[in-house]
Copies of this chain bind each other. A is one copy, B any other.
């Protein structure tokens, strides 16, 4: 703890420079610079060797700040973190950071506190100050005119309305699948507990829920706006009048579903016997809850990589990348224990309008 003079007394005080390496190798510093640029490609083998040993002897590492200054590229991207009740973004973040690294970028984190305007201000500031070459937001960026920014801003699909053509449609498909499945099981009267509507995914699931109800001639007792929390699921069910007729609930997330299950228990309703519940996310708790929550698996890692891939492409001026090949496997219904046949099991649907 207090023994100090073990190794060098504080490490070499001064770092070597490119010029030091050049001198030691008996070359000009440009040649060494070139070594880094082309990874030793166009150099004579002997030159390359000399440079490499000089680097090793001096324990040299390029000063990236100086490089940035000269190239006017920072190689840095910013990620705007979500605040509030975020859907555990760890896997997403790790995957995004990893892809960035693979592509030679470094990732900066911007914490989110305060309101949308404040957050926006900070993002644009980062971009304007020449700190970062692009921004990936894992928060809704309401009202941000992304074209007004000097660098590309990509908003993760969960939060982005412009992504309707990609992920959001996929989301929608899955929401429709859930209702269809539940209807096939014999349920006719539904309730949807939505997520925080600032999230695109919440708006989407809500919209598709209603569309599917209409399309299949089912009944929606209603839609309760929530915030992804178990509390919101709990409150929604506690507030359900006796005789509402609801036999199936589509919860916007597993977290919400857990709240639903507890409220049902409190009201003496058995899940799934009296009430079927479907969640979304496939959190680990879904498998171990009693009853285990029927849900939707999502691949957050894939999402993270893809979001970052879009940003990298934008920064490089490349065309928007296609979705990952395995995209279709991202959202998948997982039927566990919280959904069971409903009162109209075995009977045909009231009407089934062909999907357009």
Which A residues lie at the B interface, using CB under 8 A?
A: 6-7, 11, 15, 61-66, 68-69, 74, 76, 79, 81-83, 86, 88-90, 93-98, 100-101, 106-113, 125, 128-131, 147-148, 150, 229-231, 233-234, 255, 258-259, 261-262, 265, 284-285, 287-290, 292
Contact = CB atoms under 8 A, between A and B. Distances in A.
A288 B258 contact: yes
A284 B113 contact: no
Nearest 3 A/B pairs, CB to CB: A97-B111, A230-B288, A262-B288
A327 to B, nearest CB: 22
Contacts of A258: 285, 288-289
| Copies of this polypeptide in the complex | 2
Nearest to A261: B290
17 contacts: A6-B147, A65-B65, A89-B90, A93-B111, A98-B113, A106-B131, A107-B108, A107-B109, A107-B110, A230-B285, A230-B288, A231-B288, A233-B288, A255-B285, A258-B288, A258-B289, A261-B290
A167 to B, nearest CB: 18
Given A94-B113, A97-B81, A129-B64, A7 B290 contact: no
Contacts of A63: 129-130
Contacts of A261: 288, 290
Contact of A62 (B98, B129, B231): B129
Nearest to A114: B98
B109 A97 contact: yes
A290 B123 CA distance: 42
A106 B15 CA distance: 23
B230 A255 contact: no
A83 B301 CA distance: 12
Contacts of A150: 11
Residue of A74, A86, A111, A230 with highest tally of chain B CB at under 10 A: A111
A97 B113 CA distance: 10
Contacts of A65: 65, 68-69, 74, 130-131
A109 B93 contact: yes
B113 A147 contact: no
A298 B261 CA distance: 25
A265 B284 contact: no
A245 B82 CA distance: 46
B106 A287 contact: no
Contacts of A290: 261-262, 265, 290
A338 to B, nearest CB: 12
Contacts of A86: 90
Contact of A289 (B76, B89, B262): B262
A290 B268 CA distance: 13
Nearest to A265: B290
Nearest to A93: B81
